[in-house]
Amino acid sequence: MSAEKDLFLSFLRAGGKRVTAERLAVFDEIFSRHGHPDADGIYRSLLARAVPIGRATVYRNLELLVDCGLVRKYRLGRRRFLYEHIHPGQQHDHLVCRDCGQVTEFVSPGIRALQREICRAHGFVPDDHTLQISGLCDVCAGRPPAARPADGEAAHAS
C-alpha cells in the first residue's frame, strides 16, 4: 500500500469516517496519474471504468481528500476548479491557459529563493504557497480564432 493511501485511511479512521468503495475509488483515480483534472473529469473516468458512483459523491470525496491534505484544489477562472494529488516536499507552480485549459507545471529556484527571502524579512514561517499565472498558451496565442477547436477542451494537451 502506498504511503498516501495509509495517510488517507488513518485520516478517515481519526475522523470516524467509513472506508467505502467510493472513497477508495476516488482516491485511486486521482492518484492513478499525474494531472490536473476537474471534478467532472474524475467522475467521467470513474464512469468509463464502470465504477458505480454518483457525481455528488465524487465532489464530496474530492473535498475530503483536500481536507486530508493529499489533494490540492485550484481555482481556474471564475467557476472551474482543478484538483491534483500532492507529492510531499515537491512544489511546483502553474501556467494555466484560459482558452484551452491547458495546465503547464514549472519549478523556479529563483521564485523559491525570493519567497524564502520575503518570509524571512517579515519573520513569517511559511507552510504553503500558491502561484498560478493565467493567460494564453503558445498554441492559443499563435493560432487565429477561427482555427481553434470548437469545444475548447484541452485539444492539444499532452
- Selected from 99, 111, 115, 155, the binder of Zn ion by CB under 5 A is 99
Distances (CA, A) of 115 to 21, 25, 86, 93, 134: 41, 37, 20, 13, 20
- Selected from 40, 67, 105, 153, the binder of Zn ion by CB under 5 A is 105
Q: Is 100 in the site for Zn ion (CB under 5 A)?
A: yes
Distance between CA atoms of residues 54 and 51, nearest Å: 9
Element containing residue 71 per DSSP (H, E): strand 71-76
Segment near Zn ion (CB under 5 A); pick from 7-15, 19-27, 106-114, 129-137: 129-137
Q: Is 34 in the site for Zn ion (CB under 5 A)?
A: yes
Are the C-beta atoms of 14 and 74 separated by less than 8 Å? no
Q: Is 140 in the site for Zn ion (CB under 5 A)?
A: yes
Q: Is 42 in the site for Zn ion (CB under 5 A)?
A: no
Residue with cell 484541452: 154
The count of chain residues that interact with Zn ion, using the rule CB under 5 A, is 9
Tell me which residues touch Zn ion (CB under 5 A). 34, 84, 97, 99-100, 102, 105, 137, 140
